[in-house]
Amino acid sequence: MTERIVLAYSGGLDTSVAIGWIGEATGAEVIAVAVDVGQGGESLETIRQRALGCGAVEAYVADASDEFANEYCMPTLKANALYQGHYPLVSAISRPVIVKHLVKAAREFGATTVAHGCTGKGNDQVRFEVGIQTLGPDLKCIAPVRDLALTRDKAIAFAEEKGLPIETTKKNPYSIDQNVWGRAVETGYLEDIWNAPTKDIYDYTATPEFPPAPDEVTISFQAGVPVAIDGVRVTPLQAIKELNRRAGAQGVGRIDVVEDRLVGIKSREIYEAPGAMALITAHKHLEDITVEREQARFKATVGQRWAELVYDGQWFSPLKRSLDAFIEDTQQYVTGDIRMVLHGGQAIVNGRRSETSLYDFDLATYDTGDTFDQSMARGFIELWGMSAKVASGRDIRVAGK
């Protein structure tokens, strides 16, 4: 029986050429796997037909947009996950759901190998292959660009020689990855980190310099998940899309950062994540009134480690699973409404309310009705500072000898 290889297929030039390139290099049949994670653009059926036209023996297509929003974006939101304090893991969280469908397709079609289009210097090769090793430890992995010398120039020449039904162009200098959670742009002139990004690289966000009138929005959460916008019930996918539209129109969610890649190099990235950044901002402010102080402090550390694990391709790891359990426990009371104003590139919270809030007006007020017993403060301060006071006395005593 001829060996079969499952290929993560985007419908673009490189993966379209990879179908025939892999076949010629290995003699195997190629099954193309396309997964919709809310990236927009062409229909899955169009992509399916292109894959078959480029030589795939089968084409597996999956609309995973709701799955992606529910099972990958929402855990990211609950963790308030921002890698290095900036990046909301746009590409990193899409790879595990794609891996899940790659392994499923490999089982369905009897494939022994999974292929992806990553280079040898990026993070995604790790995310794909570690995920595949975890979910399908018997499967092998190959990367045509990395392992079979498929460069872009060779891809264009191959497509033209074979007459493949795919546009071939050298005009776009950028590498772009997008889904409903956001959009990532790199390479080209952006690799000079002194160069400012030009307006043409943005798609999810309008320029914030000349914004429309301020847009006030109320986001309702239930156990850490957005369930309504301005009182209208929404699914997680609908919430992200609506805030992509409204926050994007105000230029919210533009990120320009030099980040530390897993492979040890620094890389300049431009991100657009209007819906993600608006939701994370709102969610964090709701946590500020519903999560107990020490729990919240520790959660910030957990969220940072969670983001690092996911960025590093460890979505399916035991540690990430354990951190998930802690984060989920913290969301029990994260229910309520956040009002925010979207304007000029900013999402600014100006109101919050919750039936499970820990904010006590009578304890917080300085006016009549204050129930806080200020007489307790003096003894508290004495005890709180006791260890430092004793240590300071020791230092003075030893220094005087």
Task: For residue 14, indicate whether it is catalytic.
Answer: yes
What strands lie across the sheet with 182-186, from one edge to the other?
Answer: 175-179, 182-186, 266-272, 254-260
| Helix spans in 263-385 (H) | 274-290, 293-311, 318-330, 361-364, 376-384
CA distance 383 to 391: 14
Residue 13, marked binder: yes
Residue 117, marked binder: yes
What is the token pair recorded at 346? 């900013």
Residue 123, marked binder: yes
Task: For residue 395, indicate whether it is catalytic.
Answer: no
Residue 85, marked binder: no
Task: Check 175, 317, 354, 357 and give the catalytic one.
Answer: 175
Task: Check 14, 183, 220, 246 and give the catalytic one.
Answer: 14
What is the token pair recorded at 279? 């939701």
Residue 322, marked binder: no
What is the token pair recorded at 390? 């004793």
Residue 159, marked binder: no
Task: Check 4, 50, 94, 124 and give the catalytic one.
Answer: 124
Q: Cβ atoms within 10 A of the Cβ of 396, count?
A: 9
What is the token pair recorded at 362? 């009578």
CA distance 275 to 272: 9
Task: For residue 147, indicate whether it is catalytic.
Answer: no
* Cα distances (angstroms) measured from residue 96 to each of 66, 68, 175, 311, 314: 14, 9, 20, 11, 9
Tokens 């947009």 found at? 65
Residue 15, marked binder: yes
Residue 259, marked binder: yes
CA distance 307 to 110: 34
Residue 204, marked binder: no
Residue 275, marked binder: no
CA distance 243 to 206: 13
Residue 10, marked binder: yes
Residue 393, marked binder: no
DSSP string, 351-363: EEE-TT----HHH
DSSP string, 210-259: S--S-EEEEEEEETTEEEEETTEE--HHHHHHHHHHHHHHTTTTEEEEEE
Task: Check 4, 48, 50, 95 and give the catalytic one.
Answer: 95
Binding site per annotation, positions for L-aspartate: 119, 123-124
Binding site per annotation, positions: 8-16, 87, 117, 119, 123-124, 127, 175, 259, 271
Catalytic positions = 14, 95, 124, 175
Binding site per annotation, positions for ATP: 8-16, 117
